[in-house]
Structure 1
Amino acid sequence: MRLTGRITADSLMTLEAYARWRKVHKPEVIAHRKLRSVALGEHITVQFESELTMRYQVQEMLRIEKIFEEEGIRSEVDAYAPPVPDGANWKATMLIEYPDVNERRRELARLIGVQDRMFVEAEGHARVYAIADEDLPRDNEEKTSAVHFLRFEFPPAARAAIKAGAAVKLGCDHTNYPAHVAIGPETLASLAGDLA
């Protein structure tokens, strides 16, 4: 899989080429995704996306749905290219996970707006709050969604600090889910590589 900085229909593999590539490289992609996943408390996981994770997602959708026509390929690219970070930000999928269905229903009602209270804080810099769900709203009056899409847009000084090795924490200051965690060094090194 060739990373080009931008996912386009022309930069994707054919279904046959991807099937061969997948047999060899799928474990590497899974390890990359795991490295870029951060647990925040017991019930929220933030998966920081990259060109690799999103390119893999597009290729998987094309494979599963057996899409090979131009319009279908373009549709998948349009759906999955936006979560690729562009050098000034981190983009992520936030998952709210409660195994028990009744507890999940109750907690999703209590966590309305949680996506807007997610933040990243580089040591010595102000918190950067997530810009959430830019594609469509995922809250209503009764509950929030179990999946949200986040963008953390960093000012130049915070980007420079992160690239220089500043400690960074991921957090949430929602009334019903206050939590923060230091992003581990290996994960942080991977994420720092997303910044220009």
Structure 2
Amino acid sequence: MIGLGRWLKTTALCLALTLSFQSFAQNEQSYSIGDKVEPFSLPNAYGQMINAFDNDSKGYIIVFTNQQCSYVNLYESRIQALDTKYREMGYPLIAIEAEIESFELSTSALPDYIKKNAITYDYLIDMDNSISKSFQVQSSPQALILVRTTDGLRLIYSGSIDNNSRRPASVTRKYIEEAMDDILANRTLRQPQTKSIGCHITY
């Protein structure tokens, strides 16, 4: 099986012409699997601007979420479990609140939401949905995995967390964990993209 590093290099070469014409402005980006992801900053639940990738992590698990979404509520414990499991391996989780009603509402409600759910990961707010759009997020929750390479972070997974939102005990495919198993074993991802199921995001 082709190694992950070789696959990323091959994908990067194939996408070189496309990447050369992309704007560096956040709201003009449109990422696909294999693309290099540019740094961005967003406010957190306490109104502080945070550089999303300001450490030396091997990569990140990003979950686009919305505290008002019933599907997100079903995944709260599973999202926290992903951060607990993979943070110590160098892949911390970042939640990004998408399709917010207002920044003031989010920053007033989110601190209590974070405390209530014992959230340990960074929780950022995509005020104008520019980041959500750049990753072509269709619903919440939708998960991404970014891996750090020699030339920066690259998007290598986008889609669902697993295949059963309502019944955790009936899950037969844990897409994020499968992808992380492949990454940690330096294998090409068996399924780099899945369809996200949840609350539809309207742009």
TM-score by length of 1: 0.30
Higher relative contact order (CA 8 A, sep 6+): 2
